[in-house]
Amino acid sequence: MIKFLRKYNKWLLGVGGSLLMVTFLLTGQQSIFQPNPMKQVVATVGSENIRRSELANAEAEYEGLKELWAFGIQSLGIESGAHWMLLKREAEAAGLVGGEGDGRRMREEIAEIEARQIAMYNRGVDPEKIRAQIDEQMRTKSVPRAAGVAHESLQEFERTLSYLRGVVRLKTQYAGAVRVSDVRGVAHLKENFDGVVVDGLVIPAERLIASVPEPTPEQVQEQYQTYRDVKAGSGEFGFGYLQPPRVKFEYITLDRAAFRNAVSLDPVAVSKFFQQNRAKYPGDEAAETARVQADLTNVKADQMMSEADRLYTARLKPDVRSLPQDNGFRVLPPDWASNGVRMAALNAAITSGLQAQGTPVTATVTVRDQGWTHIEDLGRELGIGKATYRVGTNTGDFKQLVSQIHELDPKSPLTLQSRLPYETYLTESGTDNRYYVNILDWRPESAPESIEEVRSEVVRDLKLKAAFDRLKSMADDIRSQAISEGLDAVAKEFPTPAALGAADPTPQPLPVFRYANVNKGFATGELNQKEIREAVLKDARGMGPQMVPTPDNLPQRTITVPVPSKLSLGVVQVLGMRPITSEVLRQIGRREYDNFAQQELQGRNNEAAEGWDAPDPFSFEQMSRRYSYTAVRDESLPNSKRKQ
C-alpha cells in the first residue's frame, strides 16, 4: 500500500484536491446549487408570486422618492415599498403612466411646488428666480442623490418619477370623478346659500366673570380630574387640559446689525474696490463711495457671520461625533443633560473665536426652560419665531422645524433631536439674523404633569361656566330689553373694558352687527356660530319669505340663543329673508358644485368605511384588499440587499 501511495501520490493529490474544491462549492456559502435569495417569494398578489427582488426594487425606489420629495410622498399617503409597488400597478393599469420625458416634467413640478413654498415663507422673494435655482439644484444634486438611494441610474430614476406622476394623476382623477346633477346642485345651493338678514350681537360670559366668586379647592381639583385627558375645545363647554406637543429650548442669536457695526473699512481698500468694479459703480468716486462702503460692509459682515458659523460647528462636531449612532441618530449618555454640550459653551466658542480675530461681536443666548412652550406658539417668539431653515429642498419656519424633532416625528427627514444642538441655522427675513437652536426637553400631546401647569386655566374655566349659567338665567330679561330699548342698549350693558394703557380708558359697548347675513354655513362676525345660525333660520322660515319687519312683529323676530361651545349668548333680531339669486348662482355655481361633489365623495366613502371603499381607496390597507396582496414572509431587507 505504501509503495502504491508513493507511486501515485501526485495523481491522488490532484484528484483529492479536485474533490475538495467540488465539496467546497457544494457546501460553501456561495454554492451555485443554493437558491438565489432574491428569487424567494415574499408576497402574493392574487395568484401571482412577488419575488424578493421585485419588492426590494420597490422599496429602494420608495426610499429614493422620499429622499427627493419627502413632503410630497407623505402627502400622497405612500406608506411603504409594497404600497408603492401596488400604486404603480394601479396607475399603469389605468394608462396614466407617461412615456419618455414624463419623469423630467414630474421633477419640474416638484421644483415649482418647492419654489412656491419658499416664496410663501419669504416675502419679497421672486418665485421664478427661486424656481430656477431649485430646478438646477435638483437636476445636479438632489436627483442624482435620490437615484443613488434608489440604486438606479439617472435614466432609471426618471422612469420612477414618471410612475410617480402617474400616481399623482390617479389620485387627481379620482378626486374629480364625481358629478352632480343640475337639479340637485341648485337644491344644494339654495339650502346652503338662502340667507336671512339680521341685526345681532353676542354677549360673552366673560363680561360677568368679575361678579363670580372664586371656586373652592375641591371644585378646582374635580374640574382638573374630569378634563385633564381631554383635548381643549372638545369637552363640554370646550373644556380640556390635554396639552399639545411642547418643548423647552434655548437658542443663540447672531445679530447681523452688530456684525455690520463691527466692520472697519480701510479707505485705501474702499478706493481700490471702487476702481476694480467700475462697471458696477459708473459715477465718480466721491458720488459712489457711500454705496461702495455699504457693499463692502455687507461682504465683510457675511464673512464674519460665516466665520461664526464655522466656529459653532467646530466646537459642536467633536462632541457629537464621539456619540454612538442608532439608525442615524445619536445615542446620548445618561449624564448628557448635565455634562453635554449646551448653547452657553457654543456661544463662548463663537465669541472668543471672533474676538481673537479682532471682531468685537458678542453673540447672545436665550433660554426658555422655566415652563413649557407649545409648539404651535413658537411662531410668537420674538426674532427666531419668524426665522426659516432650509435643508436641501426641505424648508420651513421655526415651528415646523421643532415639530420634526426625532422624538416627536421619527419619520422626519431632518436629523434634529432633543438635547443636541442643531447644526443648521435659521435665518430671519428682513434682518438676516441667524439663530442656532437646542431643544432641551419635549413632551408629546399628553396630560399636564400636574395641576399647577394648568391651574389658572382650570380656575378661569370654572368662573366662566358660572358666569355662563348666570347669563342664561338673564336671557329673558335681555330679550325684553332688546325689544323695548333696542340692541344698542343691550350692548351698553355689557361693555368691553379698555385695553391696559389705552389712551381712552372708557369701556366700549359690544359691537352690534347691522344687516348681517346668516345662512346654513356662514354668518357675519361673531354671529357665525352653529347654534345661532340654526335658530335664526328656523325663526325666519317660520315667519315665511314675505315677512316685512314691523314694530308689531318685533317680539316674534327677537331671539336669544345660548352658545355653550363659546360660553356666550346671542341676541338677534330678524329683518327678513334673502333668497339666493340667479346672478349669485352664476358666480359661485361651478366652484360650489365642485366642492359639493367632493363632499359627496367623502360622505359616500365615510358611509362605506367598513367596506371595500374606505375614505382613501388608495391606502395600503384598501389596495391590499383589492389586489389580494398577502405577505408570506418577512419583507424587510437591509439596505445593502436592495435593488440587486
Q: Dihedrals φ, ψ of 486, to 5°?
A: 100, 165
Q: Could you tell me whether strands 387-391 and 394-397 are parallel, antiparallel, or unpaired per DSSP bridges?
A: antiparallel
Residue recorded with cell 336669544? 560
Comparing CA positions, the residue from 76, 151, 147 lying closest to residue 109 is 76
Residue recorded with cell 421633477? 107
pLDDT for 611: 42
Q: What angle do CA 318, 323, 324 make, to 5 degrees?
A: 140
pLDDT for 177: 65
Q: How far apart are CA 111 and CA 55, in angstroms?
A: 29
Q: How far apart are CA 204 and CA 468, in angstroms?
A: 8
What is the grid cell recorded at 119?
416664496
Q: How far apart are CA 90 and CA 4, in angstroms?
A: 73
Q: Side chain identity at 448, as an amino acid letter?
A: P
Q: What is the mean pLDDT of the chain?
A: 85
> In this predicted model, what pLDDT tens digit does every residue of 182-200 receive, in sequence order?
666 566 666 677 789 999 9
Q: What angle do CA 77, 623, 92 make, to 5 degrees?
A: 85
Task: Read off the pLDDT band of 174 (50, 70, 90).
Answer: confident
Three-class DSSP labels, 184-237: HHHHHHHHHHCEEEEEEEEEEHHHHHHHCCCCCHHHHHHHHHHHCCCECCCCHH
Residue recorded with cell 422645524? 401
pLDDT for 133: 85
What is the grid cell recorded at 223?
374640574
The predicted model gives 15-29 an average pLDDT of 52
Q: Within a 10 A sphere around the Cβ of 160, how many other Cβ atoms?
A: 24
* Helix/strand/coil percentages in the chain, nearest 5: 55, 15, 30
> In this predicted model, what pLDDT tens digit does every residue of 325-378 receive, in sequence order?
888 788 999 988 888 899 999 999 999 999 999 888 988 999 999 999 999 999
pLDDT for 641: 41
pLDDT for 497: 87
Q: 112 with 129: CB under 8 angstroms?
A: no
> In this predicted model, what pLDDT tens digit does every residue of 211-257 receive, in sequence order?
999 999 999 999 999 999 999 888 889 899 999 999 999 999 999 99
Which residues, in sequence order, are bridge partners of residue 629? 45
pLDDT for 515: 94
Q: How far apart are CA 376 and CA 232, in angstroms?
A: 14
**Residue with more model confidence, 10 or 479:** 479
Residue recorded with cell 346671542? 570
H or E segment and range at residue 41: strand 41-45
Q: 44 with 82: CB under 8 angstroms?
A: no
H or E segment and range at residue 556: helix 554-557
Rg over CA atoms, the chain: 35
165 exposure class (CB count in 10 Å sphere: 0-12, 13-18, 19+): buried
Q: 628 with 46: CB under 8 angstroms?
A: yes
pLDDT for 227: 95
Q: How far apart are CA 388 and CA 401, in angstroms?
A: 8
Largest CA distance in the chain: 138
Q: 384 with 398: CB under 8 angstroms?
A: yes
544 exposure class (CB count in 10 Å sphere: 0-12, 13-18, 19+): exposed
> In this predicted model, what pLDDT tens digit does every residue of 516-572 receive, in sequence order?
999 888 899 999 999 999 999 999 988 888 888 999 999 999 999 999 989 999 999
H or E segment and range at residue 275: helix 267-276
pLDDT for 345: 94
Chain CA centroid to CA 330, Å:
25
